Structure 1
Amino acid sequence: MSRIILDEQAIRRATTRIAHEIIERNKGVDNCLLVGIKTRGVYLAKRLQERIEAIEGEKVPFGEIDITLYRDDLTVKSKTEEPIIQGTDVPVDVKNRKVILVDDVLYTGRTVRAALDALIDLGRPEQIQLAVLIDRGHRELPIRPDYVGKNVPTSKSEIIVAKLKEVDHVDEVTIQQKTS
């Protein structure tokens, strides 16, 4: 049993609002860089790039980051199970840039911590900001988003599923009870 908490229109409105907030907070987009956390964060960052360009008439550089090797829960269960590395592609230097990390759902903060480690390995940004489509709470690390599409208080027995057209052929965010 799942309940839709954001449909296609709500996701579009949330990304448009986040794009406006990014522009406002940074007094434009000079020196900004959008970096999506693989997988769905990449598509959200790309959408933000398009919205910002439509509003400001300026294209913000865009990159994607793979956090696989930076995860603190990475364990190899057997000698044959290797992590799948998708690769990081940040085409501009992060040094002295305002980097806006983008992800779909913020939960414990561990994914963002891994992304911060991966990003710092690329250079020393002037500032790192965090944009998420959904903040569901239950942080295990002191991480707080700068831009939030929707705050969704949840219990630990619930899961949030974000689906995007680029991957899932539908734009929606649902909340459902965990099974088992």
Structure 2
Amino acid sequence: MNPGSRMPESSALPSQSSGPAPSTDPGVVAERTVLGEADIARALTRIAHEIVERNKGTADLVLLGIPTRGVQLAHRLAERLAQIEPTFGGEYGTLDVTMYRDDLRRQPTRAVGQTVLPGSLDGTIDDKVVVLVDDVLFSGRTIRAALDALNDLGRPRVVRLAALVDRGHRELPIRADYVGKNLPTSRRERVRVRLADVDGGVDAVVISGAATAGTGTGESTGHGESEAAL
């Protein structure tokens, strides 16, 4: 597969497979797995077929993953699209949204990543069908930042969103066009997407969090919406 001219440095993250130490606080719910490796694989295959069906093929299709795990999910979707439609070259890119976030003043030390478009695009997304790929859709603020970032790259014909998990609690009028799993959650719960090629171990989506008010963060730890609960 061809991920463009180069992959972003931000995709090389230290392993997080061990996760947090189990809490002894009786108010904290133990971590539970809601999607396993096979579930994630089936969800991505279904999303790939839905993309092809809605787009009536893969003509002018561009996949852009939002770091970190959205990039790996875009890679997997590109592989599946190439299997479904051999004319699709299997390319995907990355879209760094760091400098477009609305919480930079709160956390000004964020590391800036790289935006890398597929090599065949010649640096423009004009008149393309862009599918943004992220792991967890939560408040919608990261996707708003992604839309702003796209404006600096060109004028796509249409922009769509694919998310492995939609956990609700939107703060902006944004919705996903392709969803692997709708997962009702409390704001006090945490949703973690673990991918073997990023975190080690096996693919999984897990939930942990507080059973009582005042504990837990109500954030997702997948990069996408994890830092958007302001």
The reply to whether TM is greater than 0.5 is yes
Unaligned runs of 5+ in 2: 1-29, 217-230
- Determine the C-alpha separation between the residues in 2 that align with 1:120 and 1:45: 20
Deviation at 1:86, TM superposition (A): 1.3
* Stretch moving more, 60-69 or 120-129: 60-69
Match of 1:37 in 2: 66
User: Does the alignment pair 1:61 with 2:88?
Assistant: no
Unaligned runs of 5+ in 1: none
Aligned pairs (5 A) from 1:113-152: 113-152=144-183
Q: How many residues align?
A: 177
Post-superposition Cα deviations, 1:64-109, rounded to whole Å, max 9, x if no partner, equal 01111111011266xxx63201111113221000000000000000
Deviation at 1:119, TM superposition (A): 1.2
The code of the aligned residue for 2:112 comes to I
CA RMSD between the two structures: 1.3
Match of 2:5 in 1: none
SS state at 1:134 partner: strand
- Answer whether contact 1:66 1:87 (CA < 8 A) is retained: yes
Name whichever structure is richer in strand by fraction. Answer: 1
The code of the aligned residue for 1:142 comes to P
The code of the aligned residue for 2:99 comes to L
TM value normalised by structure 2: 0.74
- Answer whether contact 1:109 1:139 (CA < 8 A) is retained: yes
TM value normalised by structure 1: 0.94
Post-superposition Cα deviations, 1:113-159, rounded to whole Å, max 9, x if no partner, equal 01111111100000000000000000000001000000001111111
Which ranges of 4 or more aligned residues in structure 1 deviate by more than 3 Å? Answer: none
Post-superposition Cα deviations, 1:22-45, rounded to whole Å, max 9, x if no partner, equal 000000000000000011000000
Identity %, equivalent residues: 54
- Answer whether contact 1:76 1:82 (CA < 8 A) is retained: no
SS state at 1:142 partner: coil
Match of 1:104 in 2: 135
- Answer whether contact 1:32 1:61 (CA < 8 A) is retained: no
